[in-house]
């Protein structure tokens, strides 16, 4: 699969991305985490910011993922209030 077949559905802190990845998995959607900051640290140079981690899904799962992400975001705002 090429990288072009994947779409970013969410970006945020690593903790929120991991939580959302679990929710997507429960909905039957495989997701890929892209953490440029951590990759840069591992390679010996900085890149990105610590609070910007991207969650990507395959285009075939995009519609399902969008619903899960929307619910997740709505619940995050409710939890913070």
Model pLDDT, residue 69: 97
Model pLDDT, residue 52: 79
Q: Quote the number of domains for the chain.
A: 1
Cβ contact 30:58 at 8 Å: yes
Model-level pTM?
0.76
Provide the residue range defining the domain that includes 13.
3-80
| CATH code (residue 38) | 3.30.70
Model pLDDT, residue 19: 96
Short-list 46, 54, 47, CA closest to 18: 54
How many C-beta atoms lie closer than 10 Å to residue 59's C-beta?
13
SS3 30: coil
pLDDT tens figures, 19-70: 999 999 999 999 999 986 655 555 555 555 556 799 999 999 999 999 999 9
5 DSSP assignment: G
Q: For tokens 């285009």, what's the residue?
A: 59
74: its two tokens? 């709505």
């Amino acid at each position: 699969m090429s990288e072009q077949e994947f779409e970013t559905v969410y970006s945020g802190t690593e903790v929120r991305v991991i939580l959302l990845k679990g929710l997507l998995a429960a909905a039957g959607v495989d997701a890929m985490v892209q953490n440029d900051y951590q990759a840069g640290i591992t390679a010996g140079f900085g890149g990105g910011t610590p609070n910007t981690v991207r969650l990507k899904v395959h285009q075939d799962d995009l519609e399902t993922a969008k619903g899960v992400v929307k619910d997740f975001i709505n619940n995050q705002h409710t939890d913070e209030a």
